Chain A
Amino acid sequence: MIEIDPSSILVRYNVKMEKEMTPEEAAEELYPKDSLIYPIAKAIFEGEEDDVVEGLQKAIDAGRDPISLINDALMVGMGVVSRLYDEGVIFLPNVMMSADAMLEGIEFVKEKAGKAPETKGKVVCHVAEGDVHDIGKNIVAALLRAAGYDVVDLGRDVPVDEVVAAVERENPLMLTGTALMTTTMYAFKEVNDKLLEKGYRIPFACGGGAVNQDFVSQYELGVYGEEAADAPKIADFIREHGDNIVKLREKFHKH
Chain B
Amino acid sequence: MAVTRCTKMAYSSADEMVFGRAVNPVKAGLGLEIGAGYTTPEVNYAPRPEAGVSKEKLVKEYERITTDIMARMVQIGAPAVVLETEHVQQMSNNPDWGAEVAHAQKTIMEDYHDEYGIKCALRHTIGDIRESRDFLELRGDKYSVFMEAFEQCAENGADMLAVESMGGKEVFDYAILRNDMAGVLYGIGVLGSMDMEMIWQDIASIAKKNNVVASGDTDCAQANTAMFIAGGLLDKNLAHTLAIIARAVSAARSLVAYEAGAVGPGKDCGYENTICKAIAGVPISQEGKTSTCAHSDLMGNLTMQCCDLWSNESVEYHGEFGGTTVQCWAETLAYDCALMNVALQSGNEKILRDMFVASDMNRDAQGYVLAYNNAYRIGEAITRNGDDIYLRAKNAAIECINIIEEGAKKNLELSRFESKALSDAKAALESLTDDKEQFMSDCLTKYKQEIKVFKPENYGL
Contact = CB atoms under 8 A, between A and B. Distances in A.
B355 A92 contact: no
Interface in A72-102: 85, 88, 90-93, 96-97, 100
A36 interface: no
A186 B49 contact: yes
Nearest to B48: A182
Interface string A210-227: 100001000000000000
A62 interface: no
Contacts of B358: 1-4
A92 B47 contact: no
A183 B88 CA distance: 7
Interface stretch (A8-16, A37-45, A191-199): A8-16
B417 interface: yes
Interface residues of B, number: 46
A88 B46 contact: no
Interface in A92-146: 92-93, 96-97, 100, 130-132, 134-135, 138-139
A157 interface: yes
Contact of A18 (B47, B134, B416): B416
B413 A15 contact: yes
A1 B411 CA distance: 13
Contacts of A185: 49
Contact of B363 (A10, A132, A183, A184): A10
A146 B405 CA distance: 35
A93 B415 contact: no
Contacts of A5: 411
A14 B233 contact: yes
Could you say which of B51, B90, B416 has the most chain A C-beta atoms within 10 Å of its C-beta?
B416
Interface string B77-92: 0000000000011100
Given A183-B51, A186-B49, A92 B237 contact: yes
B256 to A, nearest CB: 22
Contact of B46 (A15, A17, A183): A183
A2 B354 CA distance: 6
B422 to A, nearest CB: 13
Given A14-B415, A132-B131, A184 B89 contact: yes
A183 B52 contact: yes
Given A6-B411, A88-B234, A155-B134, A130 B48 contact: no
A90 B236 contact: yes
B428 interface: no
A210 B229 contact: no
A191 to B, nearest CB: 14
Contacts of B52: 183, 186
B96 interface: no
A203 to B, nearest CB: 21
A190 B237 CA distance: 31
B348 to A, nearest CB: 13
B304 to A, nearest CB: 14
Contact of A12 (B88, B179, B233): B233
A72 to B, nearest CB: 27
A1 B357 contact: yes
B381 interface: no
A183 B355 contact: no
Interface string B404-427: 000000010111111000000000
B233 A9 contact: no
A145 to B, nearest CB: 14
Given A1-B357, A4-B358, A91 B237 contact: yes
A181 interface: yes
B46 A182 contact: yes
Interface in B349-378: 354-355, 357-363, 371, 373
Contacts of A96: 177-178
Given A1-B354, A155-B134, A92 B229 contact: yes
B44 to A, nearest CB: 13
Contacts of B360: 10
A210 B46 contact: yes
Nearest to A93: B179
B249 interface: no
B225 interface: yes
Contacts of A12: 233, 363, 413, 415
A15 B90 CA distance: 45
B143 to A, nearest CB: 16
A210 B294 CA distance: 8
B50 A186 contact: yes
Contacts of A215: 49
Given A9-B359, A186-B49, A210-B46, A93 B413 contact: no
Contact of B417 (A18, A97, A100): A18
A157 B354 CA distance: 45
A132 B169 CA distance: 12
20 contacts: A9-B359, A12-B233, A13-B234, A14-B233, A14-B234, A18-B417, A92-B229, A92-B237, A93-B179, A131-B89, A132-B133, A138-B173, A155-B133, A155-B134, A181-B88, A182-B316, A183-B51, A183-B88, A184-B89, A215-B49
A-B complex: 4 closest residue pairs judged by Cβ atoms: A6-B362, A183-B52, A186-B49, A92-B237
